[in-house]
Amino acid sequence: MDAIPQNVFWIIIAVIAVAGLAVAFMQWRRVRESQSNVEFLAKQAELKKIELVERDLEAKRTMGSVVLPKDQQEKLSKIRGNTSNLMQKAGYLNSEINERITRLEAKTEYLKLQKLLNDIEKKEKELEKKTEGFKEE
């Protein structure tokens, strides 16, 4: 009689473990997909930057023969300075976002595992109560 509840207990534990592994695998897959999407977007941004630099170089070549007035040169240098500051800030914000996403994913995974652990502990207590009932008989 004791072998049947113990087998059921192990089957339940195995089912819970398989479910936990399936959830962990799905989360891992989502993380890998999002990482590849981020890498893809980063490469696209890099290509856009290269394209913009090429356009800028072409514009400089065409403007090389034309001398701009001093006020326009100052405006152009301010625009370039602002652009570089914005690019630096965008890079910083991008790294902050990636760091927060990583923390959020880790926290979510931790909470899911915590819930699974609580469920397993509840099931163990229930099974212990049931097995105590069988032992007393």
Distance CA 111, CA 83 (A): 41
Task: Provide the domain limits for residue 69.
Answer: 3-136
Give the pTM: 0.38
Distance CA 94, CA 27 (A): 22
Confidence of residue 1 (pLDDT cuts 50, 70, 90): very low
> In this structure, what DSSP letter does residue 1 have?
-
Number of domains present in the structure of the chain = 1
Residue 75 has pLDDT above 90, yes or no: no
Mean of pLDDT over the chain? 86
- Looking at residue 129, what is its pLDDT? 87
Two tokens, residue 120 = 């397993």
